[in-house]
Amino acid sequence: GTRSQAAYNLAVLTAAQDPDEAIRLCRLAVENAPGNATYTYTLAFYLAGRSPDEAIAILEPLIAGQPTRVDARLLLGRCYRATGQEDRARALYATLRDDPSVPPNVRQLANRQLREMEAKGAQPNP
The neighbour count for residue 23, using CB atoms within 10 Å, is 21
Ranges of each domain in the chain: 2-119
How far apart CA 106 and CA 46 sit, in angstroms, is 21
- The yes or no reply on domain 2-119 and CATH 1.25.40.10 is yes
Q: Is 54 exposed, middle or buried (0-12, 13-18, 19+ CB in 10 A)?
A: middle
Q: What angle do CA 28, 29, 33 make, to 5 degrees?
A: 120
DSSP letter assigned to residue 6: H
- 23-81 tens-digit pLDDT: 999 999 999 999 999 999 999 999 999 999 999 999 999 999 999 999 999 999 999 99
* The predicted structure's pLDDT at residue 123: 56
- 3-12 tens-digit pLDDT: 899 999 999 9
Whole-model pTM?
Answer: 0.88
- 75-120 tens-digit pLDDT: 999 999 999 999 999 999 999 999 999 999 999 999 999 999 999 8
pLDDT band at 121 (very low <50, low <70, confident <90, very high): confident
CA 18, 16, 114, 74 dihedral sign is positive
